[in-house]
Structure 1
Amino acid sequence: MTRPGLALGAPGIYRVPPRAALRFNPERLDVAGFVGVAPRGPVDEPIAVDSWSDYRWRFGGTEGPGLLPYAVHAFFVQGGVRARVLRVSPLPRDHDPARARHRLRMGPATLVDVLARDEGAWGSQLTLRWDFAVAQRFDTTYSGGSIDLPPGVVLPAHSLLRLRGPGLPPAGSFAWTGRSGFRADAAGRRTDQAPLTPAGPAPRTGTVEAGVITSTILVVDTDPTMRRDERFTDLGLRAGHPRFAGRILADDSLLIEPDGWPDALLPPDAYLTSALATLVVEGVDRYTGVSRASFFGDVDPRLLPTGGPEGLDELDEVNGVDRMALDQEIGLLAVPDLSWSYAEPAAVTMIERPRPDTRFGPCAAPPVPVRATPPPPATQLDARTQLDEILQRQRRVAEHAAHQRRFVALLDVPRRLPVRSIARWRSDFDSSYCAAYHPWLGVVRPDIASPTTVMIPPCGFAAGIIAERENRLGLPWGPANELAADAVLITEPVTDAEHDTLHPLGIDVFRAERDGFRLTGARTLSRDPTYRQLSVRRLMTMLRITLDRQLQPTVFEPNTVQLRAAVHDAAVALLRQLYRGGAFTGATEDEAFFVRCDDTVNPAWSQAQGRLVAEIGVAPAEPLEFIVLRISQDAAGGLTLEAGG
């Protein structure tokens, strides 16, 4: 057994490279998870996106009724740098319940289907062209079911050849190659050969012209708001080829997926005519089928593993928020469509005016149809009449956050609730892993020229503010006192008196100011004063996750004095770095934190059980929320101003 980095040569004594010192690096918590309704994209699969453009490419824009795109846009505009997005859909799900189906006519008389990669009407806009070309051409000798390969010609196994020569149609005939070999003549000269399996008329023995056929597939999404192209080149047409088209599309395409393809395909004809796909089944948007079951499964959150989806039983199926809660990368969770309730809009009706009678007289104008346009459907539950259902969904999100202990759930105070009702709503929660934001804000649709305003939940802005502040300033800085970027309206302006009521309750409020709408709080929904501040909760979560993940490599090491000293020194170095960044209170390091990992916490009986114990204590600093000004006037009329925090 050798240590990595140690190169052994001739027998002798070698100096072992020094082992790298144990070091703890703070784990990032700025990645936000978003769950909601989108017009396209993978279903129940967290997808990483690093910009608004990335999101639009995978999940579309604001053409659907969901609020997910607005929240993600607010996150990135606010300064967030990475998100994980999960799209929900109706249950149950089949292989292709609402996906567009396109069909290609190949040869001879073979029909193959491709499905849009994800469900939705967007798949009907796809176009697909399959081009075929001769990549290289050479003259060779056909004999005994094989051809000779000229020098420099290398054919991958299962390549398609077009052969032209005596006894073949003018356009030629197709044949498949096997694995190349060689033959040797009496003088020992070797000639490379490739066995052939005819896919049409076989050539006569003699000289033939061989052309190696490759293909290119061009997929275009003609979405008028954002065109998407995919191009796959040098494709083979038979399973076993290193670039078999069916496998490449299944593995690499984000737009289409082969459906039931045979192991071998031929071009439409020997003239290598391109194959164009035709739409045979349109994709369907199933917004009306999205329900509470789309966001939550039947498994109790407390029964789900905390180490990621790998801990699930093979028979367990989780979807929606349940699936996102298992993602190990997220440090924030927002569900902008949590109050989803969407009914199919009434059909447009045609009302005709009464026809004139048949009595003699001047001809009346023909009847003019009158178009009755229904009001737009509501997409969110009404908190004034359906607050219990909203609370049930939000409690489920809060349970996930408390059980996983990795992320903070960002809850949106339901719309149209008076302050007294907000206080009653808040009483249902007691968790430092939740934060609540109020009120909803209005934004202009980001991907169309028309100035249409949409009211959206504040969780997207809050997630962006938290991520940007932590990346720019660090965890100790409270994620507040920032303007909501691109917000132009506020649904329910909060008065000073209302703010005085909401802030002590832990409701983080956006207030209207001259330059925009400013987030004025960074508190959790915990009743424990120790974890009242969001920055404290995030700091302690980061410490726990960092130590948990980065101590894993030491699990099977001997529990020696050297190992305990290494853990102690690495923990002190991490805490010292945080202390210098303002994360802890105290005039000295001794007042700010302590680390014990010696024999006092690791007695012999504990070591005999294979345990290593380290005790770490910290005094987190809390953001300054109040500044008290004291003004005094002396007998001579002089004013003195004193400020204290």
Structure 2
Amino acid sequence: MPEYLTPGVYVEETSFRSRSIEGVATSTLGMTGLARYGPVPYFLTPPNWVDPLVMAPPPTLVTSFTEFERAFGGLEPVGEAGLPDRTNYLAYAARAFFANGGRRLYVSRVFAFTQDNGAVALAGNFGQLPVGPNAFFRTRWPGEAGLGFAVKVAFERSKNIVAPGLNGGPPVLRGVLPGAAVETFASEDAIPKGIEPTPPVAANVRIVGKDAQGRLGLIQANGTVTAPAGVITHVTASISVRWGDLRLDTYPGLELGSDHPRSIANVLQPEEPPDEQTLIWFDTGANPPVTPPIAGLVAGLEGLAEWTLLTGSSEGQPVVPADYAGALSDPDDEKKVATGLGALAEQEDIAIVAVPDAVRFPLPQQITITNSLIEHCERPRAYRIGIVDPPKDSSIAGVRGFRSQFDTSRAALYYPWVEIVDPTVRPDPGAPTPLLQLPPSGFAAGIYARSDVARGVHKAPANEVVLGITGFKQNITFDRQSVLNPEGVNALRFFEGRANRVWGARTMSSDPEWKYVNVRRLFLFLEHSIERSTQWAVFEPNNERLWASIRQSIEDFLITVWRTGALLGTKPEEAFFVRCDRTTMTQNDLDNGRMICLIGVAPTYPAEFVIFRIGQWTADSRQA
């Protein structure tokens, strides 16, 4: 209650509305797997660093395949050389997801690390390029793709920046900040002219600093700051980074001194650079960054006037199924960061999860990874469903055997694999079209998202066209599906005149109550929405006023859901009920701080079997 101690008029705001419940997003996908490049967590202590380099990036959110390519590379092979299957399943699944209607994708890159006293070590996995004494350009993330990174440096020079001092005082520098690099000349005529920029003379380059009186001057080799004299130009570097034909990033106007906010070390830093997807970072050999000897730095940058490749990148150790399961982060130990599926667990808005990389492993290991996916989806407060891929080249009997290994309502299996025209191969005229076989999870996830946006989560993601494919690996007929469907294997089928379609909407559960994908996902949507939007009720007085407010909020939300067609019934009373009163709680519950609300909903089930009964009828059988 407000305090009323001084006589006067008090105006207070209040609310006469019930608190609304907002439905959560249901079409966000999370995937983990091998990628050519991109963010991975690691812990590293470079030489001469005061603080360790702790890279703990969360799963990367991308909203198009173009963004995926920028962050994780293209469709080229992944993994260490010698793997029996180096197909980039993660990239192809991301491409299929967006092509079929997906909009938001979180990616957790899998990488094999060595362990050094509990810390993740990456020695030998980074690419590097020397730039003067104790200075290097390094790949920001590990991976063999770093061998294709090339750097090119160009210099730009301004006009004379020395201005006369006020009232006859010493000359001053204009238009620069401490940390900027300048080049001294004997006269204006000595400044190089021409269209093509001329590199500075390393011996004539100085860094701008402040003297004891706070005036800008030139830092000399002995550390003293002298007043500017003669003709001085401002020198900046433009650094370009190329990754084959996939990316070209240019960072113009970079300063050479580490004290400048736009120095090379600050713009190309490892932890939080302005361009969060930058390919390289600038290591000055110390943390905080220090300006290397300027003459050596300029000479090193001048040596990169042509494209120069980084060296030393590698993939590290082979990945194993445990790398996909990953681990949760430890809030008490910064060295133990979230990886694999464990990293996806920390993103609350993910509603669909897939591990397309599981198919590259032999069957026992694929089963292990699939079990990790199911365990991930069945965690408490994990409102998500997994999409499972069948083993590569599996027959009808093979996929039935694979399906029999699992029993869960939090995952769905799709069969068979799909075929696409290989986008990485340029076909020869007259040669057969190069085809590529891929697992269906990326395509199915895109259809989930497309159906959710167009119709809602209550609509079964089936009888939907699969886009971007040429066909399926096996031809599933009516009779073949009659074997697969009862066992919870969702068929992908071709229909003459109706294209390639998803023709199944069942989970991998033996419980008939959770047989259908849309029913499972509808309840996940309801549970997550109510859980997220009723946090305000925690620690409120547990009395009739709170119970009535909770009932009103949930009823308003469920009426909205019912109006979308997600619930059965011609009126709300037939579609759901909400109880939160003395009938749902005992005195013991109240004494122990428990408020219990009972909610019942009548979901709509898909019309999986549409039956028309037709019989003969004659006019004389009509009753008068």
- For this structure pair, what is the TM-score category when the shorter chain's length is used for normalisation? 0.7 to 0.9
CA distance in 1, matches of 2:212, 2:406: 70
Q: Deviations over 1:473-505 (max 9, x none)?
A: 101110010121111132121222220011111
Letter in 2 for 1:432: S
Question: Are the counterparts in 2 of residues 100 and 279 from structure 1 also a CA contact under 8 Å?
Answer: no
Q: Distance in 1 between matches of 2:63 and 2:445?
A: 14
Q: Pick from 458, 463, 468: which aligns with 1:481? A: 463
Greater CA deviation, 265-274 or 413-422? Answer: 265-274
- Unpaired segments ≥5 residues, structure 1: 3-10, 183-192, 342-380, 382-386, 640-645
1:39 corresponding residue in structure 2: 36
Instruction: Provide the C-alpha distance between the structure 2 equivalents of 1:178 and 1:603, rounded to a whole number of angstroms.
Output: 74
What is the rounded CA distance, in whole Å, between the counterparts of 1:125 and 1:426 in structure 2?
A: 43
Q: 1:219 and 2:240 equivalent?
A: yes
Residue by residue over 1:553-609, the C-alpha shift from the partner in whole angstroms, topping out at 9 and shown as x without a partner, is 442444454443332222111100100011111222111111123344356653443
Aligned partner (choices 39, 57, 62) of residue 49 of structure 1: 62
Alignment of 1:218-237 (within 5 A): 218-224=239-245, 226-233=246-253, 235=255, 237=257
Q: Quick one: distance in 2 between partners of 1:616 and 1:610? A: 19
What residue number does 1:566 align with? 549
The equivalent residue for 2:311 is 282
Contact 2:182 2:235 in 1 (8 A): no
> Compared with structure 1, are the counterparts of its residues 84 and 561 closer, same or farther at alpha carbon in structure 2 (3 Å cutoff)?
same
Q: Indicate whether 1:606 and 2:589 are aligned.
A: yes
Cα distance change on mapping 1:91 and 1:285 into 2, 3 Å: same
Displacement of 1:162 after TM fit? Answer: 4.8
* Residue 135 of structure 2 is aligned to residue 139 of structure 1: no
SS at match of 2:581: coil
Counterpart in the other structure of 2:394: 417
Q: Is the 8 A contact 1:122 1:223 kept in 2?
A: no
Q: Per-residue deviation at 1:638?
A: 11
Distance 1:216 1:204 in 2: 24
| Number of equivalences | 556
User: Alignment partner for residue 469 of structure 1, among 428, 451, 469?
Assistant: 451
Structure 1 position 395 matched with structure 2 position 355: no
Whose Rg is larger?
A: 1
Which of these residues, 578, 599, 606, is aligned with residue 623 of structure 1?
Answer: 606
Equivalent residue, structure 1, for 2:135: 112
Q: Secondary structure at the match of 2:378?
A: helix
- 1:426 pairs, out of 399, 403, 406, with 403
2:11 equivalent to 1:15 = yes
* Stretch of structure 1 that moved more, 603-612 or 525-534: 603-612
Match of 1:580 in 2: 563
Q: Secondary structure at the match of 1:219?
A: strand
CA contact (8 A) 1:165 1:208 kept: no
Residue 403 of structure 1 aligns to a residue whose secondary structure is coil
* 1:29 matched residue in structure 2: 26
2:474 to 492, 497, 520: 492
Q: What amino acid is aligned across from residue 49 of structure 1 in structure 2?
A: V
Q: Is the contact between residue 490 and residue 502 of structure 2 (CA under 8 Å) also seen in structure 1?
A: yes
Q: Does 1:125 align with 2:125?
A: no
**TM-score (norm: length of structure 2):** 0.79
> Please, what is the CA RMSD of the aligned residues?
3.7
Q: Which moved more, 1:211-220 or 1:193-202?
A: 193-202
Deviates more, 1:267-276 or 1:495-504: 267-276
Distance 1:173 1:588, change over 3 A: closer
Between 79-88 and 576-585, report the one with greater CA deviation: 79-88
- 1:235-274 to structure 2, matched below 5 A, reads 235=255, 237-239=257-259, 241-250=260-269, 251-252=272-273, 253=275, 254-261=278-285, 262-265=289-292, 267-268=294-295
**Match 2:514 to one of 520, 527, 531:** 531
Question: Cα gap change, 1:271/1:461 in structure 2, threshold over 3 Å: closer, same or farther?
Answer: closer
Identify the match of residue 177 of structure 1 among 202, 209, 213.
209
Within a 5 Å distance, the mapping from 1:262-411 to structure 2 comes to 262-265=289-292, 267-268=294-295, 275-277=302-304, 279=308, 282-284=311-313, 286=315, 289-297=318-326, 309=329, 314=334, 316-341=336-361, 381=362, 387-404=363-380, 405-411=382-388
Unaligned runs of 5+ in 2: 42-57, 78-86, 115-119, 192-200, 428-432
CA contact (8 A) 2:101 2:450 kept: yes
Matched, 1:100 2:119: no
Say whether the 8 Å CA contact 2:102–2:446 is kept in structure 1: yes
Please say if residues 74 and 460 of structure 1, whose CA atoms lie closer than 8 Å, have aligned partners that are also in contact. Answer: yes
Partner of 1:353: none
- The alignment's TM-score, normalised by the length of structure 1, stands at 0.77
Structure 1 counterpart of 2:242, which letter?
A: D
**For residue 540 of structure 1, what is the aligned residue in structure 2?**
523
Contact kept, 8 Å, 2:181 with 2:205, in 1: the verdict is no
2: CA distance, partners of 1:474 / 1:312: 41
CA–CA distance in structure 2, aligned partners of residues 310 and 30 of structure 1: 29
- Distance in 1 (alpha carbons) for counterparts of 2:211 and 2:480: 79
Cα distance between partner residues in 2 of 1:12 and 1:266: 71
In structure 2, the CA distance between the partners of 1:33 and 1:202, relative to structure 1 (3 Å rule), is: closer
Q: CA deviation at 1:508?
A: 0.7
Residues 227, 415 of structure 1: CA spacing in aligned structure 2 closer, same or farther, 3 A cutoff?
A: closer
SS of aligned partner of 2:359: coil
CA shift, 1:456, in A, is 0.2
Cα offsets for 1:247-300 (capped at 9, x unmatched): 221122421022344511465489999634475752545398233243234x6x
Report if the CA contact (8 A) 2:131-2:297 is conserved. Answer: no
Relative distance call for 1:60 and 1:160 in structure 2 (3 A) is closer
Q: CA deviation at 1:50?
A: 0.5
User: Shift of residue 198 of structure 1?
Assistant: 2.8
Structure 2 vs 1, CA of residues 213 and 638 (structure 1 numbering), >3 Å: closer, same or farther?
farther
Q: Is the 8 A contact 1:236 1:245 kept in 2?
A: yes
Which structure dedicates a bigger proportion of its chain to strand?
A: 1
Deviation at 1:634, TM superposition (A): 3.3
Instruction: Tell me: CA distance 1:600–1:275, structure 2 relative to 1, closer, same or farther (3 Å).
Output: farther
Q: Is the 1:157–1:179 Cα contact (8 Å) retained in structure 2?
A: no
> How many angstroms apart in 2 are the aligned matches of 1:408 and 1:323?
16
Structure 1 Cα separation of the partners of residues 506 and 212 of structure 2: 70
2:374 counterpart letter in structure 1: A
Q: How far, CA to CA, are the matches of 1:618 and 1:204 in structure 2?
A: 80
Q: Deviations over 1:315-359 (max 9, x none)?
A: 545432333334323111111111324xxxxxxxxxxxxxxxxxx
User: Within 2, Cα distance between the matches of 1:499 and 1:586?
Assistant: 32
Q: Match for 2:403: what amino acid?
A: R
Deviation of the 1:33 alpha carbon: 1.1
SS in 1 for 2:500: strand
Greater displacement, 511-520 / 574-583: 511-520
- Measured at CA, do residues 37 and 568 of structure 1 come closer, stay the same or move farther in structure 2, by a change above 3 Å? same
